[in-house]
Structure 1
Amino acid sequence: MAVAVAGLMVFLSANTAVAASDPWLIKRFEDLSHNGTSSCSSKFTDSIATLPAISRIKGSCCSPMELKRYSEQTEGLTKYRDIAMIPQDPYDIPVATAQQATAYYDLQLTGDEQKAYDYAMANSNEKGPCCCQCWRWKMYGGLAKYLIHEHGFTGKQIVDVWNLSDGCGGGM
C-alpha cells in the first residue's frame, strides 16, 4: 500500500507503518533528505571549526536517507537524551555540538578506556565512527572518547551510539 504525504510517497509495510503514521517525522525526514548541507569532503571537514556555532549540519553525506532507518535511529537515540552532547538526530547536528565533540578527538585515553574505544572500532557497523574519515569520523570519534572518559561508557555502548548515529544514509 502506498500513501502520499506532503509530496512524499511512503510505502507502508509492517516495518514502516509506525514511521508513516507520524506526520512530524515524515515532514522532518523530507526536509532533511532534500535539503542537506553535509559533505564528506576534506574542505567541509576543515570548515567545521569556523562555521557559526548556531548553524546546523543537515542531511546524509554518502547515500540517500531511508525513512524506516531514520525512524529507528531517532527512536533508538532517545535512550541517550540525558547526555546533551549525543545528537538526538544523526541528520540534524548543531555545529556547536560537532565542534565540542571534535575537540575530544585527540584526547589520550587510559589503557582500559582505549580498550573500550578499540572494541567499538572493531565492532561498529562501519568499523569506526563513520564510513570514511570525514567530519563525522572526527566528531563521533571525539564523542566516543568523551563518553568513555567522562561517562564510563563501554565499547558496546559506543557501538550502539555509533550505529544509531550513522549519518551516511541508506539502511543497515
Structure 2
Amino acid sequence: MNRTLCLNRRSVVQGGLFGVVTILGILHRPDRAISAEDDDLAARFKDLSQNGNSTCSAKFTDSIATMPAMSRIRGSCCSPMEMKRYVEQVRGLTKYRAIPIIPPDPYDIPAATARQSIAYYDLQLTGDEQKAYDYAMANSNEKGPCCCQCWRWKVFGGLAKYLIHEHRFSGEKIVDVWNLSDGCGGGL
C-alpha cells in the first residue's frame, strides 16, 4: 500500500512539473504551444489553410444551392488564415454547440448548413428583432456578417436572423457569433 501511495505522489509531482514546463512554453512561444497542445486542431488548420475552395465571387454564392449536401465550403476567402486566431475561434464557438446550425469551425462549413442559413436571409424581423440585427451590424468586427457581401454575408446574415427570431439572441450574442465565425482570414 505504501508503494502505491509513493507511486501516486511521484505521478502528481511529475504531472505538476510537466504542467509548469508547458505553461512556461506557452508564455515564451504561444504559437508553438497551441499546435503542441492540440495536434488535431493544428492538422485541421494546416489542411484548411492549404486546401480551401472558398471564394468571394457572386457565382460561388449561387453555386451553394447546387452543391451536394455533404460537400463543404473550406478555407479562407480573403486573407491567409492565422493559427492563433483559428484556435480562438474554434474554441470560442464550442459554447454554441447546442445549436446545430452554427458551424463549429468557421473555415469548414457543410454546404447543407450554408443552404439552411441562406434560407433565412430574407426573413422579415419584428421591430425589436431588427434592432438586435442592426446592433450586430454596427458592432461586429467586420461591421456585418462578413467583410464583403459574398456568400458569407448571406449565410451568416441568415444565421443571425434565424438566431434572433428562433432563439431570441441579442445583438451582443450575434456580434459574438459573427466575430467567432469570421472566415476572411487574418487576425483581429
Fold shared by both chains (TM-score > 0.5): yes
Q: How far apart, CA to CA, are the structure 2 residues paired with 1:19 and 1:144? A: 31
SS at match of 2:30: coil
Determine which structure has more spread, i.e. the larger CA radius of gyration: 2
> How high is the sequence identity, in percent, across the aligned residues?
76
Structure 1 residue 53 displacement after superposition: 1.0
**Maintained 8 Å contact 1:120/1:127:** yes
**Is residue 2:75 matched to residue 1:59?**
yes
Residue among 77, 85, 104 paired with 1:69: 85
User: Which one is further off, 43-52 or 104-113?
Assistant: 43-52
Structure 1 residue 13 displacement after superposition: 2.0
Equivalent residues in 2 for 1:4-153, closer than 5 Å: 13-14=29-30, 17-153=33-169
- The corresponding residue for 1:3 is none
Structure 1 residue 17 displacement after superposition: 1.7
User: Could you say what the CA RMSD is over the residues aligned between the two structures, in angstroms?
Assistant: 1.1
Structure with the largest fraction of helix: 2
TM-score, normalization: structure 2? Answer: 0.83
Q: How far apart, CA to CA, are the structure 2 residues paired with 1:21 and 1:33? A: 19
**Maintained 8 Å contact 1:37/1:59:** yes
Q: Which runs of 4+ in 1 moved over 4 A?
A: none
**What letter is aligned with 1:124?**
S
Aligned residue pairs total 161
In structure 2, runs of 5+ residues without a counterpart are: 1-27
In structure 1, runs of 5+ residues without a counterpart are: 1-11
TM-score, normalization: structure 1? Answer: 0.91
**Maintained 8 Å contact 2:31/2:83:** no
